[in-house]
Amino acid sequence: MSSIGVSLPITQDSGNGFTTIKTIRRMVKQNLKMLILTIPGERVMIPDYGVGLSKYLFEFAATGIQSDIQSRIEEQVARYLPIVRIIDMTIAVPSDAPNSLSVQLVYNIPNLNTRDMLEITI
């Protein structure tokens, strides 16, 4: 089976040289994760790309910050990953890690008739 992209973080693989992604579902999941973690201005030539989840880490206690994060994720997904439809989103501070921020996204890819979930904790 041919590859459609390189898996991040880059790791070596004896078969292809680098670990690769072979399914669109996995590629979409990786792209969604990168979109949420990338800080705006970090990606060359696309200064508005990214949610920058880490910048909200110590602001989470502020009023309305959860809705700001949710709006930013929805806006960025609509703009840069229009093949993804967000079904449900949960943003919280894990009880066992009060200095962390957790995002759980349930989404589907209508063209593939598939549903998946992405969990990110920083």
- Whether 110 has a pLDDT exceeding 80, the answer reads yes
In percent, how much of the chain has pLDDT > 70?
95
Count: domains in the chain: 1
- Whether 115 has a pLDDT exceeding 90, the answer reads yes
Could you tell me the CATH number of the domain that includes residue 69?
3.10.450.40
pLDDT of residue 57: 84
Domain extent at residue 58: 5-121
Contact in structure between 59 and 84 (CB atoms under 8 Å): no
User: If you average pLDDT over residues 25-53, what whole number do you get?
Assistant: 96
What is the C-alpha separation between 58 and 101, in angstroms, rounded? 9
50-78 CB burial, b ≥16 within 10 A, e <16: bbbbeebeeebeeeeebeebeebbeebbe
- Whether 26 has a pLDDT exceeding 90, the answer reads yes
- Torsion angles phi and psi, residue 56, rounded to 5: -95, -5
pLDDT band at 63 (very low <50, low <70, confident <90, very high): low
